[in-house]
Amino acid sequence: MPVVHTKRRRTRFGSPLSWLSQISLPILTIVLLLAFPHVSIQASTLGERSLEELSVQAVESLVSLRDSVKNIDPTDPSSHLSRILIPRPADSDNNTLVRNYIVSTLKALNWEVEEDIFTDDTPYGTKRFTNVIATKDPSASRRVILSAHFDSKYFSSFPQNQFVGATDSAFPCALMLDLAETLDPLLNARKERLEQGLEEDDEVADTTLQLVFFDGEEAFREWTATDSVYGARHLAEKWATTFIAPHTKRHLPTPSASEISTIEHLILLDLLGAPNPFIRSAFLDTAWLFDGLVAAERRLASSGAFAEDGIPNPDIRSFFIPRRAGEGNMNYVEDDHIPFLKRGVSILHVIATPFPRVWHTLSDDASALDLPTMRRWNLIFRVFFAEYLGLRPEVRSSREDRNTHSSRSHEELVRRFIDRRPNTGLTPRLTCVRRLGYG
């Protein structure tokens, strides 16, 4: 097998972890229990299920619910992305600025926000880290986590210390904030229906959305087990050893549930925002979630949400590599999900492989981002989480109202990017690949 392009140490056939791809899920669970004593089997998980697809009208409503570009536009100084797109290594003033912006944005939505502060030893001495955990409904019995790291890689000297990590992972963080703002009224409406006994599937309705912004994902020197994923290692251990008191108002899946056992799935975003990504399904137990993303993308393309010149293009190349029958667990990239995976948490890793060419270089700035690609990711996750959480977007009666934003063309987005470029010095990515469609 050819050498694997590595951001983190990546397993290969013949490596110590390659045997995972050949083992069935029940046996793999037992093996994980023996290999990792702190593994927690999730009693709360609902398991694989069919996601009820939104109607065409509901999808159009989601597309137009909020401007799908404004908060991810790096040329707009008020956008979420612009506020994050600064050098922000762990334990720095800029890191604190970005963290405070994330916290204030989510507190403004009345989400419960926890700042998980801790210190750890690094090659440069003891450093202070802070994970940000935002939960829509803290009383829910289960949570699906959408996560990314908000720190940028540390470099000791100029000009490398100006690294901003646009794909790694400023854009994923901006996407998460925009998703929270978009889905918040729909989550409020779902909770009202649940309290009134009007939800047909109260099990799904009792799953809340939680956003986790990890600090200290990047290695300070070389990627090792102790110099990487500082925030994820700390939080996974904390949740695995924190048990929820029975007298709390929270609905518990078991009488002695740990915090980590209430995680339905952890979905991790990384290295996104550059044009033409390739996304693979790494784990069999979340292949159905991967398929849910593929289906959301396909239906958005067919509806004209990714239209060029207002003409739907269902043959636009998918971001996702089709799964093949009989595939086992794939080789995977080490990232913030590993400490949770070792403790039995179900993982969906959405990461571009191969990595963007700008990875860990100064070129991973706003010029590496592609606005139509980012908007497409934004819409895919709107539809995916609306279907996963059983949300009901309001269907508008007027087709003209429904298409207010969805008719915005690829060329319009590119023109918008170019028109602002003289004031920013940015070089936009204009690539739009048209290849074989969905397999």
Q: Do residues 102 and 132 lie in contact, with contact meaning Cβ atoms separated by under 8 Å?
A: yes
State mean pLDDT over 299-328.
80
Q: Token pair of 87, please?
A: 């050098």
Secondary structure of the chain in HEC code, one letter for each residue: CCCCCCCCCECCCCCCCHHHHHCCHHHHHHHHHHHCCCCCCCCCCCCCCCCCCCCHHHHHHHHHHCCCCHHHCCCCCCCHHHHHCCCCCCCCHHHHHHHHHHHHHHHCCCCEEEEEEEEEEECCEEEEEEEEEEECCCCCCEEEEEEEECCCCCCCCCCHHHCCCHHHHHHHHHHHHHHHHHHHHHHHHHHHHHHCCCCCCHHHHCEEEEEEEECCCCCCCCCCCCCCCHHHHHHHHHHHCCECCCCCCCCCCCCCCECHHHEEEEEEEECCCCCCCCECCCCHHHHHHHHHHHHHHHHHHHHCCCCECCECCCCECCCECCCCCCCCCCCCECCCCHHHHCCCCCEEEEEECCCCCCCCCCCCCHHHCCHHHHHHHHHHHHHHHHHHCCCCCCCCCCHHHHHHHHCCCHHHHHHHHHHHHHHCCCCCCCCCCECCCCC
In terms of phi and psi (left: phi > 0; alpha: psi -120 to 50; beta: otherwise), the region of 426 is beta
Looking at residue 162, what is its pLDDT? Answer: 98
Which CATH superfamily, name and number, covers 42-241+258-308+316-389?
Answer: Zn peptidases (3.40.630.10)
State mean pLDDT over 214-229.
97
Sign of CA dihedral 83, 85, 86, 87: positive
Look at residue 329 and tell me whether its pLDDT is greater than 60.
yes
Model confidence over 13-34: pLDDT tens digits?
233 344 344 444 444 444 444 4
Please work out, in degrees rounded to the nearest 5, the angle formed at the alpha carbon of residue 142 by the alpha carbons of 141 and 148.
145
Label residue 250 by pLDDT band (50, 70, 90). low
List, by residue number, the catalytic residues: 217, 270
Model confidence over 94-138: pLDDT tens digits?
999 999 999 999 999 999 999 999 999 999 999 999 999 999 999
Highest mean pLDDT among 29-38, 193-202, 230-239: 230-239
- Report the range of poorest mean pLDDT among 108-122, 158-172, 365-379, 422-436: 422-436
Look at residue 416 and tell me whether its pLDDT is greater than 90.
no
Q: Where are the domains of the chain?
A: 42-241+258-308+316-389
